[in-house]
Structure 1
Amino acid sequence: MERINGEAIAGAALALLGGIFIFASMLNSAWQAATLVAYLLIAVGAALIVLGRYTTMKTNRSGSHEEHSHH
């Protein structure tokens, strides 16, 4: 049974990076140009997390019957 996959990990990393960019834009005016990119990173990260969750649910549902076939 799979609990987390690569899509979810990549999505969390992108969302965290976007959050760091937004935090940096609050502290430094030079980073304000990257605010739009930060929101884009967060959106892509959220989409990857949702995709990873969907893939994990689909894999766990279909893999439950095949798990014991290797005996």
Structure 2
Amino acid sequence: MERINGETISGAALTLLGVLFLIAGQLNTIWTAVIPTAALLIAIGVALLALGRYTTIKSNRTHPHTEEHAQEHSRH
């Protein structure tokens, strides 16, 4: 049973980076130019989180047996 994948990790990282850039843009006038890029990073990060969740659900449906179940079946 897969719980997390690469899309989920990269989506969380991009979302966090976008939020940090957004906060920096709010605090410093030089970083204000980065706010549109921060919004884009957040949007891409959320999309990757959604894709990661979708692929995790799809992967778990196609492979319902976990490793532990496979070992139990091979013993009998």
Normalising by structure 1, we get a TM-score of: 0.91
Q: Which residue of 2 aligns with 1:34?
A: 34
By how many angstroms is 1:22 displaced? 0.5
Q: Give deviations 1:1-28, integer Å, cap 9, x for gaps.
A: 0111110010000000000001001110
Gaps of at least 5 residues in structure 2 are none
User: Is 2:5 the partner of 1:5?
Assistant: yes
For 1:61, the aligned partner's letter is: R
* Percent identity of equivalent pairs: 57
Distance in 2 (CA, whole Å) between partners of 1:11 and 1:55 is 13
Which 4+ residue blocks in structure 1 deviate beyond 4 angstroms? none
Unaligned runs of 5+ residues in structure 1 are none
Question: What letter corresponds to residue 13 of structure 1 in structure 2?
Answer: A
- What root-mean-square deviation, in Å, do the aligned CA atoms of Structure 1 and Structure 2 show? 1.8
> Aligned with 2:45: secondary structure?
helix
Q: How many residues align?
A: 71
Distance (Å, rounded) in 1 between the aligned partners of 2:13 and 2:66: 31
Alignment map for 1:1-71 (pairs within 5 Å): 1-65=1-65, 68=70, 71=74
**Structure label with greater radius of gyration:** 2
